[in-house]
């Protein structure tokens, strides 16, 4: 992710949360309902923006799950149950 992509998505996310909170205050009581409205509104704003940033080359849209949780440099994984 480039600096431009990070800054744009950060500011957009903060603004979307603020606007979503204002909208949710009108239509939902405090609690989980209001939280879900803010979360859905933020996702509806940020996801298309991230796709746009991907097309502009600000972020790469690849995620490699095969490397998730593995240690680098050939170090053996010693996590697990104690012996």
- Residue 46, domain extent: 3-59
55 within a domain of the structure (yes/no): yes
How confident is the chain (83 residues) per 10-residue block, as mean pLDDT? 89 96 91 93 95 89 72 60 60
Give start and end residues of each alpha helix (H) in the chain: 3-27, 32-56
72 within a domain of the structure (yes/no): no
The count of residues in the chain is 83
27 within a domain of the structure (yes/no): yes
Structural domain count, the chain: 1
31 within a domain of the structure (yes/no): yes
The tokens describing 24, both together, are: 């949710």
70 within a domain of the structure (yes/no): no
79 within a domain of the structure (yes/no): no
Instruction: Identify the pLDDT of residue 78.
Output: 63
53 within a domain of the structure (yes/no): yes
């Amino acid at each position: 992710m480039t600096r431009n992509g990070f800054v744009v998505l950060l500011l957009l996310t903060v603004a979307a949360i603020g606007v979503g909170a204002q909208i949710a205050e009108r239509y939902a009581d405090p609690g989980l309902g209001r939280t879900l409205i803010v979360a859905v509104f933020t996702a509806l704003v940020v996801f298309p923006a991230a796709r746009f940033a991907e097309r502009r080359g600000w972020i790469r849209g690849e995620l490699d799950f095969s490397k998730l949780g593995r240690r680098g440099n050939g170090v053996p994984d010693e996590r697990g149950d104690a012996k």
